[in-house]
């Protein structure tokens, strides 16, 4: 049976000999596929993985192409630019820097808004830049710029398409390798978490705004490099290949190929480029008129792909290929440093007169509670009593309208959930928030985000393998601790709901918290599973962890909790030891109705 | 620049701005009801203008073939669903709207001589051909993905836009068309002459806005659309079909788009791909209103028209650059004032 590694080796071998055996025309086609795939790869990262999108990638390609075209051809550059003139390599450097600045500015403006402003912004920016290229005299206007020098590499001038082929495909393969590495890292997990919404990622300490800017920048830079290659391949640039329509085509490549996989970019670029070539030959003959009629086919094809095979062609190809069944080894690594554990009995959390209003509705009114290190505090109450709202106020997911929350003596009501997580508070969600297609291990490892330090560059080059192994080993330990080891490499979405809740606990533990907030952890668990969960929580308590628990299962709560707070209609109606609370008349009335 | 030129530019700006305002209202309507960012809006503008121009030139407009083709596809899809579900009582309705109606339209185009019709009747026939494309488009492209994310719907929009621009080229060719003015009257107001067409555009836009307002405030369907815009699930629980709301909002958007095209065709030459830029300028207006507010969107659109008119005087080559860069300060302002609320997808 063929292993994926063998398939990859075969593919690389074919790439290597292709220009020696195919015609000039096909080399050119392969060159364009390579150039487009570099851009589409950026969109895979942005759209397929990060859930953002851009129709303006062609404009970034244009920035790269025009920067090098201008710098390498212009006579009498302004004084402050002279040092960049003359060399394509300096043109690349300038293009990359320029693109980074523009992309950062655009990303900064639009990424904070809800998802659709970014693509709309990129449409506007794509059109503006296209008209700007066409109307600036020093960029040659609509006629463009010619006489761009050829690239030379180790003294070899890349003058013909066959030479350039190796350059383009080497760049593409490096870009695929970098992207692949990035996704398989701590930063990569943070990026992949974006698609599941920012609430969970932020609560695990991920700076989601930063992750979004990172992928937008990477996508823009890939486009810029593709443009630089294009300029030196064609040795001529004009505005046409950088128009909005081409930007849309890039997005089609990513979506048709399969926006969730790095290889999807290559498949998409190949399919769309070949199809376009073919349609441009045949459609005008068929319709008896000349024009870009391939647009009609692309548009319809795109709609059908989105309706019938949302994940694109790559997953379909993968299913046709032999699957690797080998069992992966459980990551082993040195333990990560732990924060000092607070002394048992020390007050960890104190909520003072917390008020939360949603418009006219008061969800929490003057709520007070404390949680000490080494105790289990249960927050109970009928449905709609405001327990989850209280959780959100404490963990910074939602800001309290009034009142104060102190965590380890520090006021945290003004902080976001990310900062609070960094202080040592970790939580689970009532409605599980997992990345269904990621493995259990990777989901849990998101919890350890704040325990790693290595950034995007080292992730792309895989220079952070030591730290990565320690993070994964920590995640594996937590998976084993909650008893999910047999599902370690299964996709999280394949677990039963109760197990998914347990997974969330492992993820929270992975952050090395001193206070754990659990929102209905026992819901959906079977009796034996509840027993082992209770054992786990008892063990954590004995290690000095503070636990705040929202739960409906009274047997579970009363057998475990040290103290109980009862809420109804947003207010505290009772507090005390489990036995006292169970006899409290106000509690009985809230749960059982009035006893007249 | 003297006062006279300023007034002239102002008149230009307000005329175009009125069109952009209409379009921005349609965009806000479609977005709030269906979460679709309606990029193909501009194609309805072009189709409206070019269909009318075809009638006047005595040609058969290609939009007729599109109507027939789309009708057949919708009928096939809906009939196969209805038959599989055994819902035979739906069949007459499906056949009537998707097969009979286009056939009647074709008969009208071929048997009568639309080129000899009075303008008003030509306009009515144009709308009769173009407007039903809206709901058909919703049915085919968007309805199967109605619960998808805003992003998926946006990509669909772009795909629909691309397909329609290609079809526009196929139907109407690469040459532009201009239709005769509704009226040749002009009014001399001392410093400036106001053309009859300008008044037509501004008055018709204003009238349409008033009609839309009454529709939303006073009719049960208008209220159903508003309810869907506010809360899809809630509206559905009250028995409002989201499919109906989607089709209705697309019908209105197509009507507004085609009508805008008819209004603007005597002022600018319309090419098969002109609609896109016009539609996008409506978008800039809609974005000024945060894609939610009708009056701010309309005001933003008028501002876009004025900005365009004045920048075409000072820096005509950079007109489009200036208009589309206007979106940047708007986005800055929005990002500073809006608190991002996460979408649950």
pLDDT, tens only, A176-185: 999 999 999 9
State which H helix or E strand residue B315 sits in.
none
B284:A124 CB<8 A: yes
A251 phi/psi in degrees, rounded to 5: -65, -40
Residue B155 lies in a domain: yes
Q: State the pTM of this model.
A: 0.88
Residues A497 and A552 in one domain: no
Q: Which CATH number covers residue A156? A: 1.10.3470
Domain identity same for A455 and A382: no
Q: Give the model's pLDDT for residue A114.
A: 62
Tell which wins on pLDDT, B44 or A129: B44
Adjacent-strand bridge partners of A563: A377
Per-residue pLDDT band at A595 (split at 50, 70, 90) = low
Identify the pLDDT of residue A324: 60
Rounded CA gap, A489 and A485, in Å? Answer: 9
CB contact under 8 A, A115 and B338: no
**Smallest CA–CA separation between A387 and chain B, in Å?**
20
Asked if the model's pLDDT at residue B343 lies above 50, the reply is: no
| pLDDT score recorded for residue A594 | 57
Total tally of structural domains belonging to chain A = 3
Q: Pick from A486, A510, A534: which residue ends a domain?
A: A510
Cβ distance of B287 and A117 shorter than 8 Å: yes
According to the model, what pLDDT value does residue A589 have? 83
- Statement to judge: residues A51 and A144 lie in one domain: yes
Indicate which of B147, B330, B331, B336 best probes the interface with A, i.e. most A CBs within 10 Å of its own CB.
B331
Residue A205 is given by DSSP the state: T
User: Packing angle between helix A117-135 and helix A57-73, nearest 10 degrees?
Assistant: 30
Contact residues on chain A for B169, CB-CB shorter than 8 A? 289, 291-293
Give Cα separations from A528 to A522, A524, A535, A538, A542 (angstroms).
11, 12, 11, 15, 21
Give the one of B37, B156, B174 whose C-beta lies nearest to A303's C-beta: B156
When pLDDT is cut at 50, 70 and 90, the band that residue A227 belongs to is very high
Environment class of A523 (CB within 10 Å of its CB; exposed 0-12, middle 13-18, buried 19+): middle
**Partner residue facing B160 (CB), from A297, A303, A307:** A303
Confidence band of A99 (pLDDT split at 50, 70, 90): very high
Q: Tell me, what's the pLDDT at A188?
A: 93
Does A286 contact chain B (CB < 8 Å)? no
Give me the mean pLDDT over the B165-180 stretch: 88
Asked if residue B298 is part of any domain, the answer here is yes
In a domain, A253, yes or no: yes
Same-domain pairing of A84 and A119: yes
Please state which of the ranges A523-527, B303-307, B333-337 shows the lowest mean pLDDT. B333-337
Mean pLDDT confidence for A164-191: 94
Chain B residue with minimal CA distance to A47?
B151
What's the CA gap between A22 and A368, in Å, rounded? 76
Band of residue B249 on the pLDDT scale cut at 50, 70, 90:
very high
CA distance A265 to A252: 10
Q: Which residues contact A326 (CB under 8 A, 6 or more apart)?
A: none
Mean pLDDT rounded to a whole number for chain A:
88
What was the ipTM of the complex prediction? 0.88
- A571: domain CATH number? 3.40.50.300
The number of C-beta contacts closer than 8 angstroms across A and B is 142
Spell out which residues of chain B touch residue A255, defining contact as CB-CB under 8 Å: 155
Is residue B59 domain-resident? yes
Q: How far is B66 from chain A (nearest CA, A)?
A: 13
More confident residue, A30 or B312: A30
**What average pLDDT does range B309-335 have in this prediction?**
80
Instruction: Establish if A277 belongs to a structural domain.
Output: yes
Mean pLDDT of A48-76: 88
**Chain B contact for A577, CB < 8 A?**
no
**Domain ends where: A320, A355, A386?**
A320
- Work out how many domains chain B is built from and give that number: 1
Q: What is the nearest CA distance from A61 to chain B, expressed in angstroms?
A: 18
Whether residue B342 is contained in a domain is answered as no
- Judged by a CB distance cut-off of 8 A, whether residue A142 touches chain B is no
Interface contact A128-B320, CB threshold 8 A:
yes
Determine the distance in angstroms separating the CA of A134 from the nearest CA of chain B, rounded to an integer. 9
Together in a domain, A138 and A67: yes
**Is residue A336 included in any domain, yes or no?**
no
Average pLDDT, chain B: 86
A488, A510, A532 - which closes a domain: A510
Mean pLDDT computed over B196-200? 84
Of A71-85, A152-166, A550-564, B240-254, the one with minimum mean pLDDT is: A71-85
- Minimal Cα distance from A137: which residue of B? B317
Instruction: Write the CB contacts of B275 (distance below 8 Å, at least 6 apart in sequence).
Output: B41, B42, B43, B44, B45, B46, B47, B168, B257, B261
Enumerate the residues of chain B whose CB falls inside 8 A of the CB of residue A295. Answer: 162-163, 165-166
Report the pLDDT averaged over residues A447-468: 91
Task: Say if residue A188 is in the same domain as residue A275.
Answer: yes
Residue A225: pLDDT over 80: yes
* pLDDT in the model for residue A322: 66
Which phi and psi angles does A491 have, rounded to 5°? -65, 140
| Mean pLDDT value across residues B221-225 | 88
Look at residue B12 and tell me whether its pLDDT is greater than 60: yes
- My answer on whether A361 and A446 are in the same domain is no
Q: A368 CA to chain B: closest CA distance, Å?
A: 28
Query: HSE (CB half, 13 Å, CA atoms) of B139?
Result: 22
| Nearest by CB: B343 against A115, A119, A292 | A115
pLDDT for the residue numbered B32: 85
User: Quick check: A403 pLDDT over 80?
Assistant: yes
Residue of A nearest to B326 (CA): A124
CB contact under 8 A, A291 and B169: yes
| A117 shares contact with chain B (CB less than 8 Å) | yes
Average pLDDT over residues B261-275: 89
pLDDT at B345: 34
Return the pLDDT at A37. Answer: 96
Look at residue B344 in the predicted model and tell me its pLDDT: 39
Instruction: Give the C-alpha separation, A128 to A389, whole Å.
Output: 45
Query: Which chain A residues are closer than 8 Å to B149 by Cβ?
Result: 51, 115
Give the highest mean pLDDT range of A200-204, A340-344, B225-229: A200-204
Beta bridge partner(s), residue B194? B187
Asked, for residue B121, whether it belongs to a domain, the answer is yes
Please tell me the predicted confidence (pLDDT) of residue A38. 96
Q: How far is it, in rounded angstroms, from Cα A396 to Cα A414?
A: 8
| Confidence tier at B42 by pLDDT (50, 70, 90) | very high
Q: In this structure, are A90 and A147 located in the same domain? A: yes
Q: Average pLDDT, stretch A305-326?
A: 79
Q: Please judge whether B155 and A251 are an interchain contact, meaning their C-beta atoms are less than 8 angstroms apart.
A: yes
Residues of B whose CB is below 8 A from A124: 280, 284, 324-325, 327-328
Mean predicted confidence (pLDDT) in A505-532: 90
Q: Average of pLDDT values for B327-339?
A: 72
Q: Is position A534 within any domain?
A: yes
Closest CA to A142 of A232, A13, A4, A243: A243
* Whole-number pLDDT of residue B342: 43
Claim to verify: residue A250 and residue A380 sit in the same structural domain: no
Q: Averaged over B153-179, what is the pLDDT? A: 90
Instruction: Indicate yes or no: CB of A113 within 8 angstroms of CB of B335.
Output: yes
Residues 186-205 in A contacting B (C-alpha not used; CB under 8 Å)? 197-199
Q: Which of A112, A295, A401 is the best substitution to test chain B (most B C-beta atoms within 10 A)?
A: A295
Q: What is the pLDDT of residues B91-146, one digit of tens each?
A: 898 999 999 999 999 999 888 888 888 888 999 999 999 999 999 999 999 999 98
With 0-12 / 13-18 / 19 or more C-beta atoms within 10 angstroms meaning exposed / middle / buried, residue A335 is: exposed
A544 in a domain, yes or no? Answer: yes
- The answer to whether position B57 is within a domain reads yes
Quick check: A117 and B324 CB within 8 A? no
**Residues of chain A neighbouring B166 (CB-CB closer than 8 A):** 291-297, 299
Of A101-105, A152-156, A259-263, A313-317, least confident by mean pLDDT is: A152-156
- Which residues span the domain enclosing B85? 3-337
Contact B150 A245 (CB under 8 A): no
On whether both A202 and A186 belong to a single domain, the answer is: yes
Nearest to B155 among A121, A128, A255 (CB): A255
- Residue A457 and residue A467: Cα distance in Å, rounded? 14
Residue A16 exposed, middle or buried by CB count within 10 Å (0-12, 13-18, 19+) = exposed
Judged against a pLDDT cut of 90, whether residue B167 lies above it is answered with: yes
- A35 part of a folded domain: yes
Q: Output B164 or B6, whichever has higher pLDDT.
A: B164
If you search the block for the tokens 């082993």, which residue do you land on? A332
How many Å lie between the alpha carbon of A497 and the closest alpha carbon of chain B?
19
Tokens of B246: 């989607």
pLDDT at B339 over 90: no
- Give the closest of B149, B325, B340 to A112, CB-based: B340
| Residue A580 burial (CB count, 10 A) | 13
pLDDT at B267: 86
How would you class B296 by CB atoms within 10 Å of its CB: exposed for 0-12, middle for 13-18, buried for 19 or more? middle
pLDDT at A98 over 70: yes
Residues of B in contact with A121 (CB under 8 A): 327-328, 331
Identify whether residues A244 and A188 lie together within a single domain.
yes
Q: Which domain holds residue A214?
A: 26-320
Name which of A53, A194, A283, A302 to mutate to probe chain B: the one with the most chain B Cβ atoms within 10 A of its Cβ.
A302
* B260, B247 Cβ separation under 8 angstroms: no
**Residues 307 to 336 of A: which have CB under 8 A from any B CB?**
307, 310
Residue B168 CB partners (closer than 8 Å, separation 6+):
B43, B46, B47, B50, B272, B273, B275
Q: Using the beta-carbon criterion (under 8 Å), do A128 and B156 form an inter-chain contact?
A: no
Q: Which of the residue ranges A223-237, B204-218, B235-249 has the most confident prediction, judged by mean pLDDT? A: A223-237
Mean pLDDT of B44-58: 93
In a domain, residue B87? The reply is yes
CB pair distance less than 8 Å for B37 and A116: yes
**DSSP string for A275-334:** HHHHHHHHHHHHHTS-S-THHHHHHHHHHHHHHH-TT-HHHHHHHHSPPP-PPPPPP--P
What mean pLDDT do residues B299-304 have? 87
State yes or no: pLDDT of A79 exceeds 90. no
Characterize the bridge pairing of strands A376-380 and A546-550. parallel
A407/A531 same-domain check: yes
**Separation between Cα atoms, residue A463 and residue A454, nearest integer Å:** 9
């Amino acid at each position: 049976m063929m292993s994926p590694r063998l398939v990859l080796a075969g593919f690389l071998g074919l790439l290597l000999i292709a220009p020696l055996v195919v015609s000039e025309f096909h080399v050119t086609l392969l060159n364009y596929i390579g150039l487009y795939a570099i851009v589409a790869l950026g969109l895979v990262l942005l759209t397929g993985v990060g859930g953002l999108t851009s129709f303006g990638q062609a404009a970034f390609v244009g920035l790269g192409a025009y920067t090098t075209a201008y710098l390498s051809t212009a006579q009498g550059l302004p004084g402050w630019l002279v040092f960049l003139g003359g060399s394509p390599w300096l043109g690349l450097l300038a293009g990359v820097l320029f693109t980074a600045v523009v992309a950062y500015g655009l990303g900064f403006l639009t990424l904070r808004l809800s998802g659709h402003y970014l693509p709309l912004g990129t449409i506007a920016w794509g059109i503006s830049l296209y008209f700007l290229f066409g109307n600036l005299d020093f960029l040659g206007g609509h006629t463009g710029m010619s006489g761009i020098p050829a690239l030379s590499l180790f003294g070899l001038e890349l003058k013909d398409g066959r030479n350039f082929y190796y350059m383009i495909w080497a760049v593409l393969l490096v870009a695929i390798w970098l992207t692949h590495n990035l996704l398989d890292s701590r930063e990569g997990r943070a990026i992949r978490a974006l698609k599941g919404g920012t609430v969970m990622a932020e609560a695990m300490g991920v700076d989601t705004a930063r992750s979004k800017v990172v992928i937008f920048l990477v996508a823009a830079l890939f486009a810029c490099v593709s443009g630089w290659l294009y300029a030196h391949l064609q040795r001529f640039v004009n505005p046409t290949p950088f128009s909005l329509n081409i930007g849309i085509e890039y997005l089609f490549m990513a979506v048709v190929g399969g926006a969730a996989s790095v290889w999807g970019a290559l498949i998409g670029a190949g399919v769309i480029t070949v199809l376009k070539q073919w349609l441009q030959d045949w459609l005008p003959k068929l319709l008896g008129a000349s024009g870009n009629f391939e647009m009609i086919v692309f548009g319809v094809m795109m709609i059908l792909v989105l309706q019938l095979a949302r994940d694109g062609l790559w997953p379909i190809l993968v299913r046709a290929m032999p699957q690797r069944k080998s069992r992966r080894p459980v990551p082993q690594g040195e333990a990560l440093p732990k924060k000092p554990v607070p002394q048992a009995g020390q007050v960890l959390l104190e909520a003072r007169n917390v008020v939360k209003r949603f418009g006219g509705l008061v969800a929490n009114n003057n709520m007070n509670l404390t949680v000490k290190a080494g105790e289990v505090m249960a927050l109970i109450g009928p449905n709609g009593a405001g327990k989850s709202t209280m959780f959100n106020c404490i963990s910074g997911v939602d800001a309290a309208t009034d009142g104060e929350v102190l965590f380890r003596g520090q006021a945290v009501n003004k902080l976001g959930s990310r900062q609070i997580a960094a202080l040592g508070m970790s939580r689970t969600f009532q409605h599980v928030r997992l990345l269904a297609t990621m493995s259990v291990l990777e989901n849990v490892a998101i919890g350890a985000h704040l325990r790693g330090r290595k950034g995007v560059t080292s992730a792309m080059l895989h220079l952070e393998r030591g730290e990565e192994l320690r993070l994964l080993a920590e995640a594996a330990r937590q998976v084993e601790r909650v008893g999910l080891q047999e599902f370690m490499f299964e996709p999280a979405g394949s677990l039963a709901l109760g197990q998914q809740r347990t997974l969330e606990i492992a993820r929270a533990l992975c952050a090395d918290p001193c206070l754990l907030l659990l929102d209905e952890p026992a819901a959906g668990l079977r009796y034996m599973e509840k027993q082992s969960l209770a054992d786990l929580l008892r063990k954590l308590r004995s290690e000095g962890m503070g636990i705040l628990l929202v739960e409906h299962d009274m047997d579970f709560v009363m057998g475990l909790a040290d103290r109980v707070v009862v809420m109804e209609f947003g207010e505290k109606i009772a507090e005390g030891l489990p036995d006292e609370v169970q006899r409290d008349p106000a509690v009985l009335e809230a749960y059982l109705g009035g006893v007249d | 620049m003297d006062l006279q030129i300023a007034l002239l530019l102002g008149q230009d700006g307000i005329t175009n701005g009125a069109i952009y305002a209409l379009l921005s209202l349609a965009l806000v309507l479609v977005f709030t009801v269906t979460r679709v960012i309606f990029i193909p809006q501009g194609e309805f503008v072009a189709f409206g203008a070019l269909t009318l121009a075809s009638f006047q030139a005595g040609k058969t407009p290609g939009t007729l073939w599109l109507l027939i083709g789309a009708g057949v596809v919708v009928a096939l899809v809906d009939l196969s669903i209805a038959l599989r579900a055994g819902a035979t009582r739906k069949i007459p309705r499906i056949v009537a709207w998707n097969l009979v109606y286009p056939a009647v339209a074709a008969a009208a185009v071929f048997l009568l001589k639309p080129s000899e019709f009075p303008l008003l009747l030509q306009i009515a026939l144009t709308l009769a051909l173009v407007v039903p494309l809206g709901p058909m488009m919703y049915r085919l492209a968007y309805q199967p993905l109605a619960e998808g994310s805003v992003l998926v719907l946006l990509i669909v929009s772009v795909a629909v836009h691309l397909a329609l621009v290609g079809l526009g080229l196929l139907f109407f060719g690469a040459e532009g068309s201009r239709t005769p003015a509704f009226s040749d009257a002009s009014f001399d107001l001392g410093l400036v002459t106001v053309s009859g067409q300008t008044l037509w555009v501004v008055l018709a836009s204003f009238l349409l806005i008033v009609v839309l307002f009454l529709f939303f405030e006073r009719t049960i369907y208008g209220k159903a659309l508003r309810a869907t815009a506010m809360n899809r699930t809630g509206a559905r629980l009250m028995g409002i079909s989201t499919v109906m709301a989607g089709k209705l909002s697309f019908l209105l958007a197509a009507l507004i788009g085609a009508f805008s095209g008819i209004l603007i065709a005597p002022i600018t030459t319309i090419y098969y791909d002109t609609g896109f830029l016009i539609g996008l300028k409506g978008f800039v207006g809609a974005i000024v209103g945060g894609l939610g507010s009708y009056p701010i969107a309309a005001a933003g659109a008028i501002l876009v028209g004025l900005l365009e008119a004045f920048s075409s005087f000072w820096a005509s080559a950079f007109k489009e650059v200036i208009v589309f860069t206007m979106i940047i300060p708007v986005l800055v302002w929005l990002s500073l004032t809006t608190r991002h609320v996460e979408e649950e997808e």
